[in-house]
Structure 1
Amino acid sequence: MVSQMQFKKSTSLIRQIYYYALDNIPRVPWKCIMFHNAARPKALFIMWLHLLGKLLTADRLNKWGIEVEPKCSLCQSYDETREHLFVQCSYTRAVWNRVLQWLQMQSYQPATWEQHQLWIIKHASGKSQRAQVFKLLSTEIVHAIWIERNMTIFKKLSRNWEAVTKEIVYVSCVRAPPSLHHILQSLVF
């Protein structure tokens, strides 16, 4: 077995610099969600921004001095934050509960964004078909919630959570690789 030092000596200078730079960058705990995910590229991009905390929610825009309606456009009950929109909002919870019911998984109601993120990482980790399905669906859910939020704000169009859930399931079934088709087709929506 070749040691890592011998491997690095036998590679190019560019590769050595790359590995040196990687040693100084902390690993993100959510990389399992992003890699080998069959979700649409635009959904992966939204998920990436979401995991980094860079989506422009109302609270972030207001902090920057941009005047926007602070209320959540989906439930109209609480101020819109990342935590509210993706974890605490009744609309989002209904979508998650219906998708989890479809997956024959136990419903889960996290209290904070950190709990929610850890729960997603736990179920999306590994190479199992179940983990692949879960990471695809969780990415499509985040994307669908964000798009529905934007449609409600900018186009004044809103759909009920059942329609959004059906779209998530449909897109996930279409995007799933052939190795996952039998799992998704065995589930009844």
Structure 2
Amino acid sequence: MAVLARLPTRDRLSSWGMAVPRTCVFCPAGDETHDHLFFQCAYSARIWALFSRRHNVSSIADFSSSLAFCHWLHDDHSPDVATVFKLLLQVFVYTLWRERNAKIFKGVCSSKDVLFASMDQAIRDRLLSCPATRTQACSLLQLYFWFIDPYS
């Protein structure tokens, strides 16, 4: 739903005639759109930067860039690398959306480090449940660790 821009972000709620503020929940810098919330907001950008630095890749600017990156990974690299990135993207979107809702409805917000650790653990847990197949040289979890910069 996030990739298709179908989540009820504040800009969409406002366009439906609801009286909600359009500003981002995490920062006052812009309207809460899908791309702003998940990639351009200072809060989410700091978390993306942690993953980018850790995995030694450039930061993603929006959903179309992330989809293009997935296609590039799938075409030019192993499909397993694309699978790991897709999982990272799914966990990131899910966790950030849950954090957004917690801030709106409960008034609580985790630090970027806590959120990053939570996302990393969720990715590791999911990849741990995917054993290597005969056609794979290594498991998806090993692949995830392989991309981690040892100095991060």
Normalised by the length of structure 1, the TM-score is 0.65
Q: How many residues align?
A: 139
Q: What are the residue-to-residue correspondences of 1:75-114 with 2, within 5 Å?
A: 75-103=27-55, 105-110=56-61, 112-114=62-64
Query: In structure 2, what is the equivalent of residue 23 of structure 1?
Result: none
1:165, distance to aligned residue in structure 2 (A):
0.9
One-letter code of the match for 1:182? Answer: Q
1:185, distance to aligned residue in structure 2 (A):
4.4
Q: What are the residue-to-residue correspondences of 1:1-189 with 2, within 5 Å?
A: 49-103=1-55, 105-110=56-61, 112-123=62-73, 127-176=78-127, 177-178=130-131, 179-185=139-145, 187=148
SS of alignment partner, residue 3 of structure 2:
helix
Structure 2 Cα separation of the partners of residues 75 and 146 of structure 1: 14
Structure 2 Cα separation of the partners of residues 90 and 52 of structure 1: 22
Identify if the C-alpha distance between structure 1 residues 149 and 57 changes in structure 2 by more than 3 Å, giving closer, same or farther: same
Identify if the C-alpha distance between structure 1 residues 113 and 137 changes in structure 2 by more than 3 Å, giving closer, same or farther: closer
1:102, distance to aligned residue in structure 2 (A):
2.2
What RMSD over aligned residues (CA atoms) do the two structures have, in Å?
2.2
Structure 2 Cα separation of the partners of residues 77 and 58 of structure 1: 14
State, as a whole percentage, how many aligned pairs show the same letter: 29
Identify if the C-alpha distance between structure 1 residues 122 and 90 changes in structure 2 by more than 3 Å, giving closer, same or farther: farther
Structure 1 Cα separation of the partners of residues 102 and 84 of structure 2: 26
Tell me which structure has the larger Cα radius of gyration.
1
Which runs of no fewer than 5 residues in structure 1 stay unpaired?
Answer: 1-48
Normalised by the length of structure 2, the TM-score is 0.79
**Paired residues of 2:48 and 2:60 also in contact (CA < 8 A):** no
Identify if the C-alpha distance between structure 1 residues 124 and 168 changes in structure 2 by more than 3 Å, giving closer, same or farther: farther
Deviation by residue 1:71-126 (Cα, 9 ceiling, x = unmatched)? 111123211111211221111111111112222x222253x543343234433666
One-letter code of the match for 1:81? Answer: T
Structure 2 Cα separation of the partners of residues 52 and 182 of structure 1: 31
Structure 2 Cα separation of the partners of residues 157 and 150 of structure 1: 9
1:58, distance to aligned residue in structure 2 (A):
0.3
One-letter code of the match for 1:137? Answer: L
